[in-house]
Structure 1
Amino acid sequence: MTEQLATTTVAARPRATASPLGPVALTTLLFGAFLPMLSFFIINVALPAIGSDLRATSGELQLVVGSYGIANATLLVVGGRLGDGFGRKRLFLIGLTGFTVMSLICAIAPTIGVLLAARVVQGAAAAAMTPQVLASITSLLTGEHRARAMAMFGVAGGAAAALGQILGGILVEANVFGLGWRAVFLVNVPVGILAVAAAIRLLPETKADRANRVDLVGAALLALTLVLVLLPLTEGRPLGWPLWTWLCLAATIPSVAVLGLHQHRAEQSGQAPLIPPTVLRLRAMRIGLLLAVAFFTTFGGFMFVFALATQGEAHMSPLEGGLSLLPMAVGFLITSIYGPRLQQRYGAGLILRGWIIQAVGYAVLALVALTLWPDVNPWKLAVPMLIAGFGSGLVMVPLMGVVVSQVPPAQAGLGSGILLTSQQTCLALGAATVGTAYLALAGTSWGQGGALAAVALAITAVSLLMTPVTHQLRSRSSGVGG
């Protein structure tokens, strides 16, 4: 997550005696990747129940997703650099403890305002925790042990994204002890407590040889920019697009300009900016960022609207809505497990194949929505969801590894940090942008089925547009089969 990954030391322990993480310690560490991603996706299927119970508007429900993602995105690199300086185990424990406590507060939130505030802090806690996973793996493990752990990191993220809404549907439908939607947050608490106890006992402390100063000004400017986009997009439609929404959107232009100027000046003065312009000037990074923005914006938006559509006009229960995603989860899990092996063979060509398969899946889903809606169920949606899930996994799982492998080693840590930041940013903005478009169409003669089909066709178009872009990245891969 940071440029210092390649030069780390194990605190109070000579470099030569550093030993690989044991299975339990590595599993504990990987919860830092699994829980934050799970928390992002598990909430989608519970949104209708949250809206009914807390009397939340559609815009507020979008913020339940978006506020978490924005807080997480703006602080990911900051969390990585704090871990470099103060100790990665220490930051991991702080983040995991905060995440667990905020999960409990979300579970008992009496109002939508309390829930939104807790989601912001929960996202910030996740940003303190997640960067320490990659940094610790890189500093503690080498060779085959590191490669296996990095593959497991990808599996953890893919499994969380795929299984989140299924688990959410089961928990909401089961209504254990009358908890309803609150169980999707409460499930994190016992897991978090066990992980904290295991981390205290099993994880060694590591620090960077030289830690950079934290770019708090850059983080604040990035947060401001994202809020200026997110808030009007989520609240504008239900409020009738008042003047302040347009002023906020217009203000994003000078906000981006000030952020870019600050990053340039910080780098020129020898400081460590949040988003280094020199890394963004690398061709592979620019292509990778374009692919990441396209994928995570559409994927985050689709997950949000699919939950609303299946529990709306289709009259599915939360469990049925979650089970409709089971084929997609199967596709994700298959690619998460076999993705690293396929990546060695095909390189960026694997991503190219993924875009094409994903396009086919979403096109078939649009056809189903247009011809059968609202008479749909998990079985009728199974084929397009399986195809889309398999294609999405082929794009998501290898994306970071393929892009970072084409970046100079000295900048690989920064590159991965920027890609993870864009991932969280776009997942949140996807719920705002795609979600707003869907809600606007669903309120017209299109209905929810037509709106879902429009979203699916839009993702199909984006997927096809990304194939020539991916081919440019592919052509720069050396020794890759295609």
Structure 2
Amino acid sequence: MTETVTTATVRSPSAPAALGGPGLFTVLLAAALPLVDFFIVNVALPTIGADLHAGEAVLELVVAGYGVAYAVLLVLGGRLGDLFGRRRLFLGGMAAFGLTSLACGLAPGAWTLVAARVAQGAASAAMLPQVLATIQAATAGGRRARAMSLYGATAGLSMVAGQILGGVLVAADIAGTGWRSVFLVNVPVVIAGLVLGARFVPETKSQRPEPVDGPGTLLLAASLLTLLAPLTEGRAAGWPLWTWLSLAAFPGVAVAFYAVERRADRAGRTPLVPPSLFALASLRSGLVMMVPFSIGFSGFMFVIAVALQSGEHLGPVPAGLALAPMAVAFLFVSLAGPRLIARYGSRVVTAGSVIQAVGIVLIVLAARRDWPHLDLVGLLPGVAVAGAGQALQLPNVLRLVMSEVPPARAGVGSGVMVTTQQSALALGVATLGTLFLSLVPHQGVRDALLITLLVQLGLVALTGLLSLRLPRTVN
């Protein structure tokens, strides 16, 4: 149950807080910011490297530092929202995101930018879990279903739009800011979000909040770091000894984390990630499916940006706009998602996997046929079809994961879900990005791209198979 406080009234714990249209717009705006920022730098990296004289390893840290800090702290951010109030954490995280975005945009050197990106990831981890938790605690019935569908659509569209926006901003060179504008653009958006949030987002928190799980927090952070840090930095650093030691330590740390959380759960305490939460079939099935989907999604976005710029020698604007048909298709198909789910259930998600696979095949055929003269027209059918398939999967899976989570555990549930998604996004860049960049010197850009796309096709097939285990109905 939740206790909701507004400036005028205190609602009873049994009554859901009111999250109206302006409040929903505000939290969805906040949901878009971290995801846009994860992808917006992909097409800006060459310009950042040239301007700051940064090597490949440092540039990968610009991406990885944000992603790892974000993933490591997300569940903690959800728990702190349950404890201190989700609106309070939401506004504080958003303000911190604006300040760290400003620090990124004004960074005088590469390592300063890396430090600011890590801080920006931490700010995102405080802000984003409150979005889902607020929707879960402050809506009910059909309004919650619509809000969750809009959240899923916002998440998918933000990932694609971020890459397009990055290319446009870098090329526009607004007031001579160059690549810095991809971070500075966040500042006015954050200011608007803070004004709207202070007025329209209701305060919700768990009626019986649990203290922060210190051992669980440290072990989860260690688990994610031992996995993500070596995978994201290993190739650029030449796979030094620490990367192998870190990967070897990961299974032991992960097992220790699970043991500590299970012991706390059985003792009646609320651990950081309660194993009992995974008794919810919808949450368990949705999270398992989300992993290969997100790995393939982020890996594709990173690889296509690098391939089009380094292999086709496209500028940042054409490289970004090549994905515009994906964004358009995702937007319109996702709007039809709730009606399709209501009629056909989770079979819509399976159909989305098939459609996405067709889109990837079309991209492979276009690259084989047209390279090295692959252009926006050649890519259009494939990316549009792939975007339509993704739109039938992502919003509906996100909605499914949270469908049975009780409002009292909304912060924990949203933290677990977003951590899974963000960790998989980081893994996608690390694994598919590493595969592509390792193949380029020996196979060339085209063949490296084709091989990577075939690997993604395998991930899409796995996603489709896993979707068959989803509950037939989605609430």
Scaled to the shorter chain, the TM-score interval is over 0.9
2:11 is matched with which residue?
Answer: 15
Q: Pick the aligned partner of 1:293 from 285, 291, 294.
A: 291
Alignment of 1:77-116 (within 5 A): 77-116=75-114
Deviation for aligned residue 1:309: 0.8
State the secondary structure of the residue aligned to 1:44: coil
1:167 is matched with which residue?
Answer: 165
Question: For the residues of structure 2 that align with 1:187 and 1:73, how far apart are their CA atoms?
Answer: 23
Q: Tell me if the contact between 1:366 and 1:454 (Cα under 8 Å) persists in the aligned partners.
A: no
1:62 counterpart letter in structure 2: E
2:154 is matched with which residue?
Answer: 156
Alignment of 1:58-457 (within 5 A): 58-405=56-403, 414-444=412-442, 446-457=443-454
Q: CA-to-partner distance for each residue in 1:21-63, whole Å, 9 max, x for gaps?
A: 4433332222221111111121212122122222333333333
Question: For the residues of structure 2 that align with 1:276 and 1:425, how far apart are their CA atoms?
Answer: 18
Q: CA-to-partner distance for each residue in 1:231-252, whole Å, 9 max, x for gaps?
A: 3223322333222221121111
1:384 counterpart letter in structure 2: G
1:56 is matched with which residue?
Answer: 54
2:57 counterpart letter in structure 1: G
The structure-2 alpha-carbon separation of the partners of 1:19 and 1:135, relative to structure 1 and needing over 3 Å to count, comes to: closer
234-243 vs 379-388, greater mean Cα deviation: 234-243
183-192 vs 359-368, greater mean Cα deviation: 359-368
How many residues end up aligned between the 2 structures? 472
266-275 vs 423-432, greater mean Cα deviation: 266-275
1:472 is matched with which residue?
Answer: 469
Q: Tell me if the contact between 1:442 and 1:448 (Cα under 8 Å) persists in the aligned partners.
A: yes
1:458 counterpart letter in structure 2: V
The structure-2 alpha-carbon separation of the partners of 1:221 and 1:56, relative to structure 1 and needing over 3 Å to count, comes to: farther
State the secondary structure of the residue aligned to 2:422: helix
The structure-2 alpha-carbon separation of the partners of 1:259 and 1:328, relative to structure 1 and needing over 3 Å to count, comes to: same
2:102 counterpart letter in structure 1: L
Q: Tell me if the contact between 2:151 and 2:395 (Cα under 8 Å) persists in the aligned partners.
A: no
Q: Tell me if the contact between 1:78 and 1:216 (Cα under 8 Å) persists in the aligned partners.
A: no
Unaligned runs of 5+ in 2: none
The structure-2 alpha-carbon separation of the partners of 1:8 and 1:76, relative to structure 1 and needing over 3 Å to count, comes to: farther
Question: For the residues of structure 1 that align with 2:25 and 2:407, how far apart are their CA atoms?
Answer: 27
Deviation for aligned residue 1:412: 7.2
1:3 is matched with which residue?
Answer: none
Question: For the residues of structure 1 that align with 2:321 and 2:177, how far apart are their CA atoms?
Answer: 20
Question: For the residues of structure 1 that align with 2:196 and 2:402, how far apart are their CA atoms?
Answer: 31
Percent pairwise identity: 47
1:461 is matched with which residue?
Answer: 458
Deviation for aligned residue 1:321: 0.4
Deviation for aligned residue 1:430: 1.2
Deviation for aligned residue 1:359: 1.0
State the secondary structure of the residue aligned to 2:378: coil
Q: Over aligned residue pairs, what C-alpha RMSD do you find?
A: 2.3
Deviation for aligned residue 1:334: 1.6
190-199 vs 101-110, greater mean Cα deviation: 190-199
399-408 vs 327-336, greater mean Cα deviation: 399-408
TM-score, length of structure 2 as denominator length: 0.93
Deviation for aligned residue 1:373: 1.7
State the secondary structure of the residue aligned to 1:206: strand
Deviation for aligned residue 1:289: 2.2
2:215 counterpart letter in structure 1: V
Q: Tell me if the contact between 2:129 and 2:418 (Cα under 8 Å) persists in the aligned partners.
A: no
Deviation for aligned residue 1:207: 2.5
Q: CA-to-partner distance for each residue in 1:420-442, whole Å, 9 max, x for gaps?
A: 21001111121111111111001
Question: For the residues of structure 1 that align with 2:294 and 2:93, how far apart are their CA atoms?
Answer: 24
The structure-2 alpha-carbon separation of the partners of 1:76 and 1:28, relative to structure 1 and needing over 3 Å to count, comes to: same
Deviation for aligned residue 1:171: 0.4
Q: Tell me if the contact between 1:367 and 1:453 (Cα under 8 Å) persists in the aligned partners.
A: no
Question: For the residues of structure 2 that align with 1:420 and 1:156, how far apart are their CA atoms?
Answer: 14
Question: For the residues of structure 1 that align with 2:178 and 2:438, how far apart are their CA atoms?
Answer: 28
Deviation for aligned residue 1:185: 0.5
State the secondary structure of the residue aligned to 1:443: helix
Q: Tell me if the contact between 1:8 and 1:139 (Cα under 8 Å) persists in the aligned partners.
A: no
Q: CA-to-partner distance for each residue in 1:425-478, whole Å, 9 max, x for gaps?
A: 11112111111111100121x1111111111111112212332321122xx425
State the secondary structure of the residue aligned to 2:468: helix
State the secondary structure of the residue aligned to 1:220: helix
Question: For the residues of structure 2 that align with 1:233 and 1:148, how far apart are their CA atoms?
Answer: 37
TM-score, length of structure 1 as denominator length: 0.91
30-39 vs 101-110, greater mean Cα deviation: 30-39
Deviation for aligned residue 1:130: 1.5
Q: Tell me if the contact between 1:218 and 1:263 (Cα under 8 Å) persists in the aligned partners.
A: yes
The structure-2 alpha-carbon separation of the partners of 1:263 and 1:111, relative to structure 1 and needing over 3 Å to count, comes to: same
Question: For the residues of structure 1 that align with 2:213 and 2:246, how far apart are their CA atoms?
Answer: 24
The structure-2 alpha-carbon separation of the partners of 1:9 and 1:198, relative to structure 1 and needing over 3 Å to count, comes to: closer
Q: Tell me if the contact between 1:335 and 1:393 (Cα under 8 Å) persists in the aligned partners.
A: yes
Q: Tell me if the contact between 2:4 and 2:202 (Cα under 8 Å) persists in the aligned partners.
A: no
Q: Tell me if the contact between 2:149 and 2:395 (Cα under 8 Å) persists in the aligned partners.
A: no
The structure-2 alpha-carbon separation of the partners of 1:239 and 1:219, relative to structure 1 and needing over 3 Å to count, comes to: same
Q: CA-to-partner distance for each residue in 1:281-330, whole Å, 9 max, x for gaps?
A: 55544432221110111111111111111111100000000110001111
The structure-2 alpha-carbon separation of the partners of 1:355 and 1:144, relative to structure 1 and needing over 3 Å to count, comes to: closer
Deviation for aligned residue 1:125: 1.0
